Structure 1
Amino acid sequence: MRAAPRAHLYRVRRRAASPWPEGRSPKRTVRTGATPVAQGRTRMTHRHHWQDWTFAAIGAWLIVSPWVLGMTAGLAMWSIVALAAIVVALGLVGLAQSGAQDGTDYAVAVIAVLIVAAPWVLGYTGPVIAAWNAVIFGLALAIAALWTHLIPHEGGHA
């Protein structure tokens, strides 16, 4: 005959309730006087703010570049200024956000494609350098916007 199993060997140890997210300890988080749960956070997030600064800087350049490079006023010039103003606004929104927001990055990537296509779609007039300006800085925006989505990285850092 087999001996009856011992019930105490099969008890599962229960962990005490903790305000810290799974795998985190108080030593790994910023000490602000309140627990992460009390602050409304349940998991750690990371935001690459260098991208937001890049969006704002390139957008600001694209706003002033038509006058610096001598573009003639028209639909092409004002469309670049409007798209660049949206990029600046998205960069500032990204700087104001504390958590990772993919929507901002994807929106800038779509606008970057429009900026790159603008010289051919809208028919730039004036110096050829204005068309190259849109292409080069539009590609730079697209690369910055998609950096964390295309480059493999570990631990949330690119």
Structure 2
Amino acid sequence: MAMRWQDWMNLLLGVWLIAAPYLMFYDPGFDGIASWNSYLVGGALVIVTGIGLAKLIPWREWVVLVLGIWLIISGLLLGFLAGNQIALWNGIITGIVVVIGSASALRAADKGQRGA
């Protein structure tokens, strides 16, 4: 079982993204594109990270890195820049944290470190 702090952090961030539309009252409600983006990316983070906690799969950190980058740019690409500042900034900040953790895990894997 590969247990790394990045996996646990990403699991918690995935749960946060799933809960954020409810806790932060994303506008225009619970069925908007910002909410669905948060649900889908959060769910993907939980699934990919859960797999990573159960079994060492080399490509999963690349998937997490792409999800983090998507979080950073999705507000601009999906058009909730002006109408949903809370969702925009939550995605950007959470995405940056995911990218940093993923990059750290990838660098540790390149160095052959376990449990990094």
Shorter-chain-normalised TM-score: which range?
0.7 to 0.9
Where in structure 1 are there 5+ consecutive unaligned residues? 1-45
1:97-136 aligned at under 5 Å gives the runs: 97=55, 99=56, 101-124=57-80, 125-126=83-84, 128-136=85-93
Q: Residues 153 and 87 of structure 1: is their aligned pair in 2 closer, same or farther, counting only changes over 3 Å?
A: closer
- Distance in 2, matches of 1:133 and 1:143, equals 15
Check conservation: 2:72, 2:91, Cα contact below 8 A: yes
Q: Deviations over 1:63-122 (max 9, x none)?
A: 11012111123122212211110100011101101x4x3211000100111111111111
User: Given that residues 115 and 138 in structure 1 are in contact (C-alpha distance below 8 angstroms), is that contact kept between their aligned partners in structure 2?
Assistant: yes
The CA deviation at 1:47 is 3.8
1:61: how far off? 0.3
Q: Which piece of structure 1 moves more, 48-57 or 134-143?
A: 48-57
| Residues 1:81 and 2:36 aligned together | no
**1:154 & 1:131 partners in 2: Cα distance?**
35
Match of 2:106 among 149, 153, 156: 149
Aligned in 2, Cα 1:90/1:68: closer, same or farther, shift over 3 Å?
same
Of 95, 103, 110, the match for 1:138: 95
1:60 aligns with 2:18: no
What stretches of structure 2 of length at least 5 have no aligned partner?
A: none
TM-score (norm 2): 0.81
Is residue 34–residue 87 contact of structure 2 (8 Å, CA) maintained in 1? no
**As a proportion of its length, which structure holds more helix?**
2
Structure 1 length-normalised TM: 0.61
Give % identity. 26
Is this contact kept in 2: 1:49–1:94, CA < 8 A? Answer: no
Structure having greater relative contact order (Cα 8 Å, sep ≥ 6):
2
1:108-156 residue CA offsets vs partner (Å, 9 max, x unmatched): 1001111111111112233x22211110011111111110334698661
Tell me, yes or no, if the aligned pair for 1:56 and 1:92 is still in contact at 8 Å.
Answer: yes
Does structure 1 retain, via aligned residues, the 8 Å contact 2:72–2:96?
yes
Q: Could you tell me how far apart the structure 1 residues matched to 2:59 and 2:107 are?
A: 15
Aligned residue pair count: 110
Runs of 4+ in structure 1 off by over 4 angstroms are 151-155
